[in-house]
Structure 1
Amino acid sequence: MSLLTNPLFIIVYWIFCYELALLCMYGRINHTVSILFVSTIFLISIITFSIMKMMKGKELEPKSLINMKAWKYVSIVMFMIITVFYGVKIYKSATNFGGELAWFIDRLKNEASVEFEHNNIYMDGVEGIFKDINKEYALPKKLYMESDFHLEFNQEGTITSFDTFVYGKNADGEEESYLITYDQNKTSTITVRLNGHLNTDYDEEKLVEPLIRTVKVIPIKQTVGMWNEHTYGLVYYWKRNWGYNTEGIINMDENGMKQTPTKTTSEIIGYTVSIFVPGKEKEIIPARYNLLGEPEWSQSNTTQYQDEFEGNRQEIPNTDEQFYLSKEVGYRLDVMDKALGSTFYSLRKTIDGGENWVVINQNPFNGTVGSAAGITFINEELGFLRAARPSGTEGVLYRTNDGGISFEEVSYAMQEMKLDSGQSINPFDFPGLPFEKDGVLNMLVGQGSDGDYNGNSSGLYQSNDNGETWEYIKEVESK
Structure 2
Amino acid sequence: MIYIFRGNVKRVLISLLTNPIFIIGYWIFGHELASICKYGRMNNNLYILLLSIVLLLSIILFTTIKMVKESEHKLKNLTNLKSWKYISIIIFVAITLLYGVNIYKSATNYGGKLAWYIERLKNERSVKFEHNNIYNYGLKGIFEDINKDHTLPQELYMVNNFSLKFNSDGTITSFDTFVYGKNEDGKEESYLITFDKNKSKNITLILNGYAGPTYNVDKLVEPLVKTVSIIPIKQKVSKWNENQYGLVYYGKRNWGYNTNEIINIDKDGKEYSPEVATSEIIGYTVSIFIPGKEKMITPARYNLIGDPNWSKPSTTQNQANSNEKKNELKNTKEQFYLSKEVGFKLNVTDKALGSTFYSLSKTMDGEKTWTVINNDPFSGTIGSASGLVFLDDKLGFLGAVNPSGNEGALYRTDDGGTSFKKVNFTPHKVKLDNGQSISPFDSPGMPYEEDGVFNLLIGQGSDGDYNGNSSALYQSKDKGQTWEYIKEVKNS
Q: AA paired with 2:303?
A: N
Q: CA deviation at 1:425?
A: 11
Provide the secondary structure at the position in 2 that maps to 1:152.
strand
Which of 22, 39, 50 does residue 37 from structure 1 map onto?
A: 50
Which of 294, 306, 312 does residue 281 from structure 1 map onto?
A: 294
Q: CA deviation at 1:450?
A: 7.1
> Please, what TM-score do these two structures have when normalized by structure 1?
0.70
Query: Partners in 1 of 2:348 and 2:114 — Cα distance?
Result: 33
Structure 1 residues without counterparts, runs of 5 or longer: 323-329, 350-358, 371-389, 401-407, 411-418, 432-444, 457-477
Q: Is residue 265 of structure 1 aligned with residue 269 of structure 2?
A: no
Matched with 1:383 is none
Q: Is residue 166 of structure 1 aligned with residue 179 of structure 2?
A: yes
Matched with 2:303 is 290
Matched with 1:216 is 229
Q: Is residue 304 of structure 1 aligned with residue 319 of structure 2?
A: yes
Q: CA deviation at 1:113?
A: 2.1
Provide the secondary structure at the position in 2 that maps to 1:149.
strand
Q: CA deviation at 1:130?
A: 1.5
Over the aligned positions, Cα root-mean-square deviation in angstroms equals 4.5
Matched with 1:188 is 201
Query: Partners in 2 of 1:262 and 1:335 — Cα distance?
Result: 33
Provide the secondary structure at the position in 1 that maps to 2:190.
strand
> Please, what TM-score do these two structures have when normalized by structure 2?
0.68
Q: CA deviation at 1:121?
A: 1.6
Q: CA deviation at 1:341?
A: 2.0
Q: CA deviation at 1:176?
A: 0.4
Which of 196, 199, 204 does residue 212 from structure 2 map onto?
A: 199
Cα separation, partners in 2 of 1:101 and 1:300, compared to 1, 3 Å:
closer
CA offsets 1:375-401 (integer angstroms, 9 cap, x no match) = xxxxxxxxxxxxxxx94322135999x
Q: CA deviation at 1:231?
A: 2.1
Query: Partners in 2 of 1:80 and 1:454 — Cα distance?
Result: 41
Cα separation, partners in 2 of 1:306 and 1:297, compared to 1, 3 Å:
closer
Query: Partners in 1 of 2:313 and 2:143 — Cα distance?
Result: 30
Matched with 1:465 is none
8 A contact 2:344–2:360 mirrored in 1 = no
Q: CA deviation at 1:285?
A: 0.8
CA offsets 1:423-472 (integer angstroms, 9 cap, x no match) = 999976389xxxxxxxxxxxxx999997999999xxxxxxxxxxxxxxxx
Q: Is residue 341 of structure 1 aligned with residue 369 of structure 2?
A: no
Provide the secondary structure at the position in 2 that maps to 1:11.
helix
Q: CA deviation at 1:206?
A: 1.3
Q: Is residue 392 of structure 1 aligned with residue 409 of structure 2?
A: no
Q: AA paired with 1:127?
A: K
8 A contact 2:193–2:205 mirrored in 1 = yes
8 A contact 1:344–1:369 mirrored in 2 = no
Cα separation, partners in 2 of 1:315 and 1:203, compared to 1, 3 Å:
farther
Q: CA deviation at 1:77?
A: 1.8
Structure 2 residues without counterparts, runs of 5 or longer: 1-13, 336-340, 351-356, 378-382, 394-414, 418-427, 431-438, 449-455, 472-490
8 A contact 1:241–1:317 mirrored in 2 = no
Q: CA deviation at 1:54?
A: 2.9
Higher share in helix: 2
CA offsets 1:265-296 (integer angstroms, 9 cap, x no match) = 11111110000112211110100011123221
8 A contact 1:333–1:347 mirrored in 2 = no
**Paired positions, count:** 393
Q: Is residue 94 of structure 1 aligned with residue 107 of structure 2?
A: yes
Which of 427, 443, 446 does residue 429 from structure 1 map onto?
A: 446
Query: Partners in 2 of 1:334 and 1:99 — Cα distance?
Result: 30
Q: CA deviation at 1:47?
A: 1.5
Q: Is residue 106 of structure 1 aligned with residue 119 of structure 2?
A: yes
Query: Partners in 1 of 2:361 and 2:82 — Cα distance?
Result: 70
Q: AA paired with 1:174?
A: K
Cα separation, partners in 2 of 1:343 and 1:226, compared to 1, 3 Å:
farther
CA offsets 1:202-233 (integer angstroms, 9 cap, x no match) = 12221110101111110111111111222211
Q: Is residue 256 of structure 1 aligned with residue 269 of structure 2?
A: yes
Moved more, 339-348 or 162-171: 339-348
8 A contact 1:269–1:300 mirrored in 2 = yes
8 A contact 2:164–2:247 mirrored in 1 = yes
Matched with 2:158 is 145
Q: CA deviation at 1:59?
A: 7.8
8 A contact 1:121–1:158 mirrored in 2 = yes
Q: CA deviation at 1:201?
A: 1.7
Matched with 2:435 is none
Query: Partners in 2 of 1:276 and 1:250 — Cα distance?
Result: 14
Cα separation, partners in 2 of 1:77 and 1:369, compared to 1, 3 Å:
closer
8 A contact 1:428–1:447 mirrored in 2 = yes
Query: Partners in 1 of 2:470 and 2:327 — Cα distance?
Result: 25
Identity %: 51
1:394-433 equivalences under 5 Å are 394-397=387-390, 429=446
Query: Partners in 1 of 2:416 and 2:49 — Cα distance?
Result: 51
Q: CA deviation at 1:331?
A: 12
